[in-house]
Structure 1
Amino acid sequence: MSEERVGFFTDTSVCIGCKACEVACKEWNAIPEDGLSLTGMSYDNTQELGASTWRHVAFIEQAAPQGRTQLPLIEADPDGGPGSADGPGSDMRWLMSSDVCKHCTHAACLDVCPTGSLFRTEFGTVVVQEDICNGCGYCVPACPYGVIEQRPRDGRAFKCTLCYDRLGAGQEPACAKACPTESIQFGPLDELRERAALRVDELHEAGVDEARLYGHDPADGVGGGGAFFLLLDRPEVYGLPPDPIVTTRDLPAMWKHAAGAALALVGGVAMAFAAAGRRPR
């Protein structure tokens, strides 16, 4: 890695759900439209990350805990109609978060890729080379976040590249540039972690006790992410695993056991042949 590691810090406390990041990502990377699944229950029409959704803005509507400072707060429908979270007269909030590939420090997708299609760039990010991908799909279950998906037409895997082409030209990723509230911040990872810690302290001082960081800790199960988040509730509320682990962490031990078993088998076969050779004829 010849360049300073860079990444994303997404501050969900200032996300307004405008989806400018989704549009900018699709436009710059020429990602095809993948269906608009309006269910009548949410404004979240893209629903999840996938081969043709590299940025996904999640909308979580919930009743706001009473007696605590919350961001953002909205008034519920006084008639208890659509949009009301908890009946007439209750307060509610929308938690919004622009999700993306985490560009893990210990990336299981890299471990399982048989062709070298997945590689780590000089910026510390993880990228799929679509012209080398053979569509085996091993990376899909390997990702602890469910980020990678294969496109139905040809089976190749796709995900966020953190705008690798833009980074090489000295530009910031398209999603961060398009974000009107600076919810998505791009820069050197160490600098972003310091900035994020200060932001959490600021929110705690303002009474937002639920503010927390997710994916920033190098001691977590994936060695920390190149994309991490400030959340206003538990990770699972946003559809994120609370304790992600690199799914290939046991591979070295498994290979060691397999090698031991193979040696034992070879030894057993050799002993059987030796014993057979000593029998009188």
Structure 2
Amino acid sequence: MSEERVGFFTDTSVCIGCKACEVACKEWNALPEDGLSLSGMSYDNTQALGASTWRHVAFIEQPASQERTQLPLIEGESGDAGGCGGSCGTGGGAAPPSDLRWLMSSDVCKHCTHAACLDVCPTGALFRTEFGTVVVQDDICNGCGYCVPACPYGVIEQRPTDGRVFKCTMCYDRLGAGQEPACAKACPTESIQFGPLDELRERAALRVDDLHRAGVDGARLYGHDPEDGVGGDGAFFLLLDRPEVYGLPPDPVVTTRDLPAMWKHAGGAALALLGGIAVSFAAAGRGRR
């Protein structure tokens, strides 16, 4: 990489569920429309990330099991955190009925440090950019779909029209022009923050400390640790509950981690098979004498 690695830090504690990031992403990247009907999943009409939804704001309703705590502001903000007026408690987002809390989170491709999708792509359609992000070249993708099950987060999807895969590029074209991604530019509460990854990790750690001091004990970081199963994510999150609540795997692991050992065992098995065949032919030759 010739440039400093950049990424996203998504602070779900100040997400208000406005979906401005989804709209900005679709508009800038000219993505096809989808999800125009209610899904039965609260007010979430797009349901999940996919080939035509590269940013997805999840709405997660939960029973309010604890007294609501006013979330501290992000440094430099004025007014209430994410427009909550102090009534959102540990859920973030718009004020729900008193017996519910809403967790809102803008999900995106994680741009993994150890990206299994890169390992399995046979055409080179997936590549690591100079910014450390992972991008699909749709004109090279042959639609084989190997990257779909390889992704530990279930981010990548094939379009049904031609089988090619599409996902977040972190607005690679904008990065090349010195601009921030469209979703971060559009976010009104700075829930989506963009910048050098090391700086974002430091900022996120301070934010978690602020929340803990305010009594939000469930606040935690997800995907920030370079020692995790994917080597850390280029897009990581501050969550207010367990990852599973947000539909995220609790301990993601690069799915191709065992490939070297598998190839080694396969090579050994192939050699043993060839040796057995050679011995059989030799024995058969001696028997004809």
Question: TM over 0.5, yes or no?
Answer: yes
Which structure 1 residue ranges, 5 or more long, are not aligned? 76-82, 85-89
What is the deviation of 1:61?
1.1
The aligned residue for residue 112 of structure 1 is: 120
**Which whole-Å CA distance do the structure 2 matches of 1:192 and 1:131 have between them?**
33
The aligned residue for residue 254 of structure 1 is: 262
**Which whole-Å CA distance do the structure 1 matches of 2:39 and 2:116 have between them?**
34
The aligned residue for residue 266 of structure 1 is: 274
Q: Deviations over 1:63-112 (max 9, x none)?
A: 2222463656459xxxxxxx75xxxxx44211100000000001010111
Residues 25 and 183, structure 2, Cα contact 8 Å, conserved in 1: yes
What is the deviation of 1:200?
0.1
TM-score calculated relative to the size of structure 2: 0.90
The aligned residue for residue 192 of structure 1 is: 200
Residues 203 and 211, structure 1, Cα contact 8 Å, conserved in 2: yes
Which structure 2 residue ranges, 5 or more long, are not aligned? 72-83, 90-95
The aligned residue for residue 31 of structure 1 is: 31
- Change beyond 3 A, Cα 1:70–1:277: farther
Residues 117 and 130, structure 1, Cα contact 8 Å, conserved in 2: yes
Amino acid at match of 1:148: I
What is the deviation of 1:280?
4.5
Runs of 4+ in structure 1 off by over 4 angstroms are none
Residues 68 and 207, structure 1, Cα contact 8 Å, conserved in 2: no
What is the deviation of 1:148?
0.3
Indicate yes or no: 2:185 matched with 1:167: no
TM-score calculated relative to the size of structure 1: 0.92
Indicate yes or no: 2:157 matched with 1:149: yes
Amino acid at match of 2:119: D
Q: Deviations over 1:173-220 (max 9, x none)?
A: 000000000000000000000000000000000111100000001111
What is the deviation of 1:243?
0.8
What is the deviation of 1:253?
0.7
Further displaced range: 152-161 or 61-70: 61-70
- SS of the equivalent of 1:52 reads coil
Indicate yes or no: 2:214 matched with 1:206: yes
The aligned residue for residue 177 of structure 1 is: 185
Amino acid at match of 1:236: E
The aligned residue for residue 49 of structure 1 is: 49
How many aligned positions are there? 269
Indicate yes or no: 2:20 matched with 1:20: yes
- Change beyond 3 A, Cα 1:41–1:271: closer
- SS of the equivalent of 1:59 reads strand
**Which whole-Å CA distance do the structure 1 matches of 2:41 and 2:11 have between them?**
25
- Change beyond 3 A, Cα 1:39–1:267: closer
Indicate yes or no: 2:284 matched with 1:276: yes
Indicate yes or no: 2:107 matched with 1:99: yes
- SS of the equivalent of 1:93 reads strand
